[in-house]
Amino acid sequence: MKLRDLREAEVRGKKVLLRADFNVPLKDGVVAEDFRIRKTLPTINWLRENGASVAVISHLGRPKGKVVPALSLAPVARRLADLLGEPIAFITDCVGDGVRKAVERMEAGEVLLLENLRFHPGEEENDPGFAQELAAPFDLYVNDAFAVCHRAHASTVGLPGLLPAYAGFLLQEEIRVLSKVRDDPDRPFFLLIGGKKAKDKLGVLEDLLPKVDAVLVGGGAAFTFLKARGLEIGRSVFEEDLLPKVKGIAERAGDKLLLPVDVVVAQELSDSAETQVVPVERIPPDAMGLDIGPETVRLFSAKLREAATVVWAGPMGAFEYKPFAAGTEAIARALAEAPGFTVVGGGETGEAVIGLGLEDKFGHLSTGGGATLDFLRGRPMPALEPLMV
């Protein structure tokens, strides 16, 4: 896949609209984790160094077309200014006269951040009129938001039809790495699946099963597989309507499929929960499984050391709670030390890795969650099509 490279654009003196993904976690009105912001800095700085003025647009959360003050990008503007080492302007809308006037006043090298795109219903509706309003003050469009490239929104597919459009450096890096994994992975190629629910990963499993050499399933997703195998899983969360489908996938996977052999169980999901480790065949009827156990950690870690390529999507347990974080942490550390090339999907998996300070220990830590998996599955990526040469 060949994308229109930003380096080929003449940007000096131009007003550039940069679609970034600054959908980052906030805590008490402050950016709690800035990985996605930092990954966009090379594109922003290249534009500035080459004489462009840059207005950045992004979404944050799911305000559903309404102004939600708690989802304002103002804290992101403050963090971006810190990372750039100089003040930047924050505009309290992303369209309208205020934006137009602010952009007209910008000089080469200046950066401003516009307010949350999703405060307007036209963004997710891919409204052509909203796209035209966004584009009006600008000369050129750059997409550096891989994590939303599977979305057909005004800022991802509407804008490149209205302005000369290019791929930023983060977007190019994501496509380069993930294309190799999708089309020509070094083998053995393993898929490590976790997360809360099986339904979020079944499509990935079905599409990638013929392409991978092993599938390891942990997290909440594993309990639907264990139930489909005929085991009693106590009060563990599972998806009854998916049992026939999961059973079929397990049968097709055969020896490729590895499931937990022990789990950490508790009667409640809390930071003060009392836990015990039990074999999967002996989950108490009044308990729920909330993490993989130490024997599963050993089994999975040993298997993962055999891989030349691993894609990891989904934590191994309810890692947000201390009693159920050990499995995810142990697997993250095992993968960080494994000899193969490991791709970590974004979302919760990325949060876990970054929280452990391991982000530089993996072959590729993607900024995308759903976008990463859709790309690897070969599903349509609407925002990439207008950027292709």
The angle at the Cα of 311, spanning 220 to 333, to the nearest 5 degrees, equals 75
Catalytic option among 100, 180, 182, 197? 197
What's the full length of the chain, in residues?
389
Cα–Cα distance, 43 to 32 (Å, whole number) = 22
Question: Is 245 part of the annotated catalytic residue set?
Answer: no
How does DSSP classify residue 34?
Answer: -
14 is catalytic: no
Q: Which of 168, 218, 293, 347 is catalytic?
A: 347
347 assigned to active site: yes
- Of 121, 26, 17, 130, give the one whose Cα is nearest residue 72: 26
* 313 phi, psi to nearest 5 deg: -135, 105
In angstroms, the CA 49 to CA 160 distance is 23
Is the omega angle on the peptide bond into residue 188 within 30 degrees of 0, that is, cis? yes
Q: Which helix (H) or strand (E) holds 284?
A: none
* Inter-residue contact 376 to 178 (CB < 8 Å): yes
- Single out the catalytic residue among 195, 327, 345, 370: 370
Query: Which two three-digit tokens encode residue 98?
Result: 């205020």
Among 15, 36, 118, 151, the one annotated catalytic:
36
List the beta bridge partners of residue 311.
191, 343
Q: Which residues are catalytic?
A: 36, 197, 347, 370
